[in-house]
Amino acid sequence: MELLQEVKQAVIADIEEVRQTRVKENKPFVSGDIEKIITHYADKFNIDSRIIFEIIRQESGFDPNATGRLTKYGTAKGLMQLMDMNSQPHGIDPYNPEENVQVGTALFAKLLNKYQDIELALAAYNAGEGAVDKYGGVPPYKETQNYVKKITERLSDENQ
């Protein structure tokens, strides 16, 4: 019984060490499979994978089963929190990480191509193209402004 306690304490100590390292690095744990999917589709659509990583971090915290609240536009689902209007035309399962990241990255690439500006593309991903077009920039929505700010700050922190 004493040996079992020692093993248990050693395992707990190891887990805590890994957790503390992640906290210090301020990076969530991401499974290797999801990381490979992000890299693959970021490369395919010629997007810096760090941007997709940060969108997913902000949207779902890397939870492939994340489901947003019901809005008049539908429900956001999966890693990149795709709205039904974005996932249904492609016939994908929004909770399938690969399909979600493929469609979400393609959508972000389209927005980046349209706006030629990362902040505007992020704002459109969060609030919709209509809102960005209506306001001629990042809409005055607190949620969208915070979304753009958090992601761009994390990206600039990574560059330092």
Greatest alpha-carbon pair distance for the chain in Å reads 68
Residue 101, helix vs strand vs coil: helix
Count other C-beta atoms under 10 Å from residue 99's C-beta: 19
* Residues with a known catalytic role: 59
